Structure 1
Amino acid sequence: MRALTYRTFYRLPGRWRRRIVRTFQPTYTIGAVAVVRDPQLTRILLLRQPPGAGWSLPAGLMDRGETPVQCAARELAEETGIKLPPERMRAANPNAIVHTRGQWVDMVFETEVEPGVELVVDSAEVIEAAWHRLDNLPPLTVSTSQLLAHYAIGPYKDYPEVREA
């Protein structure tokens, strides 16, 4: 029965197969995150966004036709005024953080920037942007704390179960 189902499925036109797969498989939203540190790796750039309950990282959803690294560079520029070419961003390790409960994937990129660079925030999206010492971080959003734990940063860095969630 299973073999017959597969044979039938692969005889269908490609667009029908895609529609069937998209109907029955979970879908994920793809976003890109920029982890921006100073060259000495002692400070990190964080944003306070509405409603302002905690600090987060420059991030956003990919536009159609955009690559994850282009998205990370675009979001960094839109939210902080820091314009970097995508070539200045490198894939973090791990590069993809899959959030199965919320069904989204964060593609994470790292870069270094001198803290003296002028920050120009988009007031529609960002209340404040500031550099923070890694050993004295402000209150972070839960999702930011969980993401940074993958890179041994923040309040959850010593909790391996957070990285596995």
Structure 2
Amino acid sequence: MRAFVYGVFYRLPHPVRRRIVRTFVPKYIVGGVVLVRDSEAPAPGRLLLLRQPPGKGWGLPAGLLQRGEPPIVGAARELAEESGITVDPRALTPAVPNAVVHAKGWVDMVFELEVPASTTVLEVDGAEVYEAAFHPIDDLPRLTLSTQRLLAYYGIGPLVAPDDPTSWDRPSAPSHDG
């Protein structure tokens, strides 16, 4: 029976097959996120965080992709909109893992960037973002729960248990010791 159903499905015109798939397959919202590290900070480094409404925790530069927008372009756009840091999307490197699939229906495409904090001007609009600042990775401020969960994939933050043998040793974190 299964072979028959697949045989019928693949004989349908492509637009009909696509509509069927879009109707019955779970849909995901895709966002772009940038982990911005201070290239001048000694290990373990400093990370750019944003305080956004309602202002109860700090998060990462991130936002939803526009329809048809490549993730790396959307991540660079969101970084510029939220922090004032404008970079060519090619300056971003895919984080490892690059895609984080969340159970609640969204996917974060995560990229990394290093900038010198001493010469990087941070500009926020006061509406979408209240404040932007670099924070020591070993002394992070209160983070939003979604930021805590995302950073844990990269071995950062309060949800990473130092003695947990299942936590990953993320080689994507750049070394800052000379």
Q: What range is the shorter-chain TM-score in?
A: over 0.9
Q: Please give the per-residue CA displacement for 1:95-141, whole angstroms capped at 9, x wherever unaligned.
A: 110002x1110010001111121111132311111111111100001
Match of 1:106 among 79, 83, 108: 108
| Deviation at residue 11 of structure 1 after TM alignment | 1.3
Query: For residues 143-162 of structure 1, what are the structure 2 equivalents within 5 Å?
Result: 143-158=146-161
Q: Is the 8 A contact 2:155 2:167 kept in 1?
A: no
How far apart, in 1, do the equivalents of 2:11 and 2:59 lie? 47
Partner of 1:76: 79
Letter in 2 for 1:23: T
SS at structure 2 position matched to 1:51: coil
Shift of the 26–162 alpha-carbon distance from structure 1 to 2, 3 Å rule, reads farther
Change in Cα spacing, 1:17 to 1:26, as seen in structure 2 (3 Å) is: same
Alpha-carbon displacement from aligned partner over 1:38-89 (angstroms, at most 9, x marks no partner): 1135110000111112100000111122211111111000000000111111
Structure 1 residue 120 and structure 2 residue 126: aligned? Answer: no
Change (3 A) 1:95 1:146: same
Q: Matches of 1:139 and 1:132 in 2, distance apart? A: 11
Aligned to 1:64: 67
Q: Secondary structure of 1:106's partner?
A: strand
Identity of aligned residues (%): 59
- Measure the CA separation in 2 of the matches of 1:157 and 1:13: 48
Residue segments in structure 1 that go unaligned for 5+ positions in a row: none
SS class of match (2:35) = strand
Query: TM-score under structure 2 normalisation?
Result: 0.86
Q: Tell me if the contact between 2:49 and 2:133 (Cα under 8 Å) persists in the aligned partners.
A: yes
Residue 118 to residue 65, structure 1, CA distance change in 2 (3 Å): same
Q: Which runs of 4+ in 1 moved over 2 A?
A: 159-163
Distance in 2 separating the partners of 1:94 and 1:142: 19
Q: Does 1:138 align with 2:141?
A: yes
TM-score between both structures, scaled by the size of structure 1 = 0.92
Return 5+ residue gaps in structure 2 as ranges: 169-178
- What is the DSSP-based 3-state SS (H/G/I as helix, E as strand, rest coil) of the residue aligned with 2:135? strand
Note if contact 1:146-1:162 (Cα within 8 Å) is conserved in structure 2: no
SS at match of 1:131: strand
